[in-house]
Structure 1
């Protein structure tokens, strides 16, 4: 099964330029949708009153219909609605192509005004359609010609002019709601056409059998949509069994190699940065052929496949910054444009080279690239695991139960190609997770963390995690002498011709480490620090100018600042205003909260923007990302990267609006004691005042992170000793009170004995906050209590035991 995911965007506003994301692109293959600019129809003068043209021609002219009416679709013609499940194409389909029995010039009417200017006007009705879209062919409007398309609800596309002409003479129009379209073409002023003369044809009509609009602000064109919530279907529920990659820090290098692909502005898939035997950082991305050939709609047309691949946008680190739960990942870390390097439909192989690189010609360090190794060995070794973007969501992890793999035949419906015999590694069962639409092209790793194949398809899901097929690198390795180097991987991944069967990964960052300097984030470089989930939204008052998090460096540290992350809880106000640009500063912190000179500060320029493919001219533009009701993370790079020497001590990391003034954004944060135990706390600053501990957030910290490069993983917070690892317990007013450091302890075992040695209570309580209150319903008398905390998996301090006696009145 092909796992590329075609998905939908909300309708473009009339003033926007761009391509809607439609399944019709998959059906038609490579159509270009040019700028569709809405302009009002011009007011006509007294000479502009229209009357019928060609009235003196043959009587049959009067029989030409002005309205073309298509009958309602039969139930048998509609595809099944649950296209996201089962073995087959996992695309979201909302429209069907319907053939037209008449060309545009065979219906409609020609009109002329008093000045002799001609207009062609026609109406289309697709009975029962929820929306209608057209593909125009032979589209070559002359200078002065204008085409307008109006829908049932008055929405309009146009004026389309000669500026919309394209070399292939194709124009794909976005859907308009309802079952009705009116087309009106103004010939150039003073031009006298012949009957039947039009500078375009209607190549296809697409009948929308269900809505193509999702909830408001579902996703902007070319943007990952994250949670696939549409028409009552919640994708996050379907992939709930597939854990976030950060739950597996041992796979951190491989995680860094996986990227999300957006092709043609409408199809989501996955890919992997892959190394060569030269280990030189050549920006190759391995994926599956069907991810760049519109699910084989472009089969055999190499030129169109190359054009399609060129539209690819690569999203790096599209992963939620926590092990459990979901935060919509940063979209700012993206690169646009690709060259098709190798491609073979007989194995479903595709190798891309990223071309949209910065001036350095390298992938930015802040993106933390890792080029995965590969293996063409006949017997790869377990455990086998995959990292991918199911349903276009944030990066997930799956691990196979199979201890051995074999090459098997793979057949997918109509694409049952004999050339796919014995070319796919088959995962018969997943021990952890599964795959889903959007996982296409994702790598399958062997036990050494080397890529052995990429996903073609399958039928696994959370309720039945079985049968997924990955095309094998070894079966796409050697070139066919009759087809050249394009059809094989060996000339590109082994350019020196070493003949080796395995290649280790390449880490361009090593031996240094790039990490987020925050205890909020469970950074895989410092797994012993764990991490905390945000559980509070701080909405600053209008007088708050800056937010800050105070933290402690327990030892001197030399770092290079690469950028900053901030996490917000999106709301309607934020969606209406978009994200303002931000300024982050790192300063020494004085205990009295007085301002100090920042060691380093920088501002953003494109927060809330992502790279998208703009069809006109094959250019790439920055577009505003969608802001919905979910939690979102943004990233912005430091414009310069000086090296800082930070002595041991306390620091404040602050965030404010780039333009100054009130900081009103709903920033996500953690509320509770664990952060304080490692030296983090939340502070606010008002105009002209010193920093003050945030009054309404006890011991919490805002989710503001610096991304740094350092020689060894940096820990924040004080060095915890045995003396620091305290737990307090006491009795008062028929209640036991227990207070502990949540960063070190996760639960507590409580046992109570009578003075005769009889055990009257034994229970385990988990810490949801740093203080537990346990009501006691025991008879009056004297008792002995023992309290033993259990350490967190990342805590290195010893467990402590507290024992005391108390009297119940």
Structure 2
């Protein structure tokens, strides 16, 4: 399907993609997170904050009957998700923190195991993080040759699409989507001729203490989405929604909303937007208070089309229960183009074009007139995409 780019016209539409995930973050206690020390391949015991662990333990990767060679495993010290949930409660004015970053320095030459198969080299590295609800990774150096592909696997099942040379960017970083669970296996394959061209350094293992509905392999936060009448599944019909034909006016704009992670630790939301040239540049607008800056924009991972497959009756218990929104449509990396704290706005340009198969709409904008009503497309507590309406009279302010 061809990508469609429109500048929305008519009465003013303001797409309030609400960051329902607006919360202030507290600093973690040093007793919860041990000081990290670099782990060197081949060592049998390494101290993390005074606690001895065995980071490189020969194991056989589960679920792969064809793999006979042992695989290097980095076992992280356990941490308490419950304590961190208490330390980082949802609060207005800041993004929702869901994970804690652990700085590391891991490369294919220092960790894991290389093996050869049919003219191709394979590097396998396993991470075990007891107590983690989910995991995501930040690479400070990511440069793959054309023949290489990096996969994230759990139980030998591919969790998200493979990463390739197409994911190389000028800033040299790569941040992955969130994967549910406490274990993750990295599998890198490359031709023997191009093995020396691989530049890969894992700098941050981000351990989740809060479940996320858009974590690969995880359906949804259980029973955490609001049940109010204003939180309408975006797939609902006009009749099912309870608001009538007003919903159908925003079918395109609904497709613009995206939820994202930042620094591998926080989550917020925003909207894909068009420009005056109508040229399809992948701009994404979010709130300034979400904390996206030039120094961390590369860590943004934006998820598209995270919405339930069916309409749950607004205000019902089902509406606040488990959903089934997909998590395989995403963009990784961005650059800040503008920010204005007075209006709580930040504009970024995504590193890569948005895949046309995702059918993302680039929302239009206008600076004239006063809208007749307020509409919010949002992700309450990272649950599937909802739409809310406010039919009260609005007014313009400076």
Higher relative contact order (CA 8 A, sep 6+): 2
Normalised by the length of structure 1, the TM-score is 0.27
Greater strand proportion? 1
Normalised by the length of structure 2, the TM-score is 0.48
